[in-house]
Amino acid sequence: MKTTIRTSVGFCLLLVLTTLSRAADELPVGIVVEKPADGPFVKTERGYMVPYEAVIPGTEVTYKMIPIAGGIATVGSPKDEADRLDSEGPQFEVEIKPFWMGQYEVTWAEYKSYMAMHDIFKGFQTHKLRPFTEDKNSLIISAPSNLYDTSFTYRNGEEPELPAVSMSQYAAKQYTKWLSLMSERFYRLPTEAEWEYACRAGTKTAFHFGDDPADLDDYGWHYGNSNETTHHVGQKKPNPWGLYDMYGNACEWVLDGMLEDGYARFGGKRVSTADALVKTKKLFPRVVRGGYYDLDPQDCRSASRLASSDDEWRGEDPNIPLSPWWFTSGPALGVGMRLVRPLEDSMPLKEKEEFWKADVQIVIDDVNFRIDEEGRGARGFVDKLLPKAIIELREKE
């Protein structure tokens, strides 16, 4: 009888442990069952969001993501802030859902892995690998053309740990689609509200460390300390939520367009993240956040916004039509990106595409012309089997 009881208890314990193990295996990357003993975490109904490091599939390049709890974001500058511009007001509130954000700006090591897709997609065409079929239409991305003149893009260097810069918003969105489809996790650019919420990290001052611009030297690269160039990511102090270089170094693309009357359309109300997103059918101006290495400290505040500019950002582009993937001059040489991954990512692929696609016809036309007529730039479809296909391609070449 005792043997039977022991056997039953042992079997039940084994069943419980097996069930827990399977549950843990089925959890998304960045979610754990047990509350972490230390480090940042966010409690959710599915478990605890925790920081994670991931490898770009098919490479040895890694990136790190930090969990951000949901909450209420206050967007914009208060009326009495000395440096407030019309584009930064009036303040309004946004309901933010939990997400992970890149601990660092996307680096050249990461972005060049995407740039390499140009020659890889061309190789697929040459060797008749991975042909397009109708069921692959939703998986197609464009890879940027090989650089016409590297002196534009790499003016501040191309070391692997430098932030990647000078990509267009369209190229940045295509990067997030490429990474999403290979990793089977939903990555995108942040909305402007998400970016400011993460930057402020629960603070209400001009900077997350206070109101004195003189203290920015400890947290960001700006005109006064950068020697007019970008620097390796992560060299300054992080904000209270563990995010580095939110001020200075490189500006960061968000999904929003810039309106002439700032945030007036929101009238000081509280809105959802989706309703706060400013969609636009204009190629310019669009918003980048955080300031960059060539701006004064007061232009790198949590609420500071910079608008993209056709003439100023593409004035030195020798291409006709102008490149849909690259900018060549002015502040664009300090414009980069940072990843966001929402906790809830169960939306169908068609809805995710809204965060990845070209949203103005001129970009679509320019991409088609460059690829189909000039043979510059390339298309291919992306899925979890892409890294294996790349190995097969290299064996053929």
Nearest residue to 63 (alpha-carbon basis) of 289, 337, 327, 334 = 337
Residue 174's domain spans which residues?
A: 42-396
Is 381 a member of any domain? yes
pLDDT above 80: residue 265: yes
- Tell me: pLDDT of 11 over 70: no
Cα separation, 177 vs 173, whole angstroms = 6
Task: Please check whether residue 46 lies inside any domain of the structure.
Answer: yes
pLDDT of residue 316: 86
For residue 309, the model assigns a pLDDT of: 96
Q: Is residue 219 part of a domain?
A: yes
Residues 6+ apart with CB under 8 A from 323: 144, 145, 148, 168, 314, 317, 366, 370
Kindly state the DSSP code that residue 107 receives in the 8-state scheme: B
pLDDT band, residue 93 (cuts 50/70/90):
very high
pLDDT at 79 (0 to 100) = 76
Q: What is the mean pLDDT of the chain?
A: 92
Kindly tell me if the per-residue pLDDT of 88 is higher than 60: yes
Residue-level pLDDT at 8: 44
Residue labelled with tokens 């968000």 = 254
Indicate the pLDDT class of residue 393, thresholds 50, 70 and 90: very high
**Contact criterion met (CB below 8 Å) for 128 and 369:** no
d(CA 375, CA 132): 17
Span 272-281, pLDDT tens digits: 999 999 999 9
Is residue 15, in this structure, part of any structural domain at all? no
How far apart, in Å, do the first and last CA atoms of the chain sit? 69
For residue 331, being part of any structural domain is answered with yes
What's the total number of domains in the chain? 1
Determine, yes or no, domain membership for 222. yes
3-state secondary structure of 249: coil
pLDDT for residue 315:
86
Q: Which residue has the tokens 């609420």?
A: 303
Range 319-336 average pLDDT: 93
* Residue 170 belongs to some domain of the structure: yes
DSSP string, 283-332: SS-EEEES--TTS-GGGGSTT-EEE--HHHHHTT---SSPPSSB--SGGG
Q: What is the DSSP string of 202-216?
A: T--SSBTTBS-GGGG
pLDDT range class, residue 24, cuts 50, 70, 90: low
The lowest-confidence range among 11-20, 223-232, 380-389 is 11-20
Strands (E) located in the chain: 31-32, 42-44, 47-49, 52-55, 62-68, 71-75, 92-96, 99-102, 140-143, 251-257, 270-272, 286-289, 305-307, 335-336, 340-342, 378-381
In a domain, residue 27? The reply is no
pLDDT at 397 over 90: no
CATH code for position 85: 3.90.1580.10
Q: What is the pTM of this model?
A: 0.93
**Total residue count of the chain as it appears in this document:** 397
Beta carbons of 46 and 31 less than 8 angstroms apart:
yes
pLDDT tens digits along 360-377: 999 999 999 999 999 999
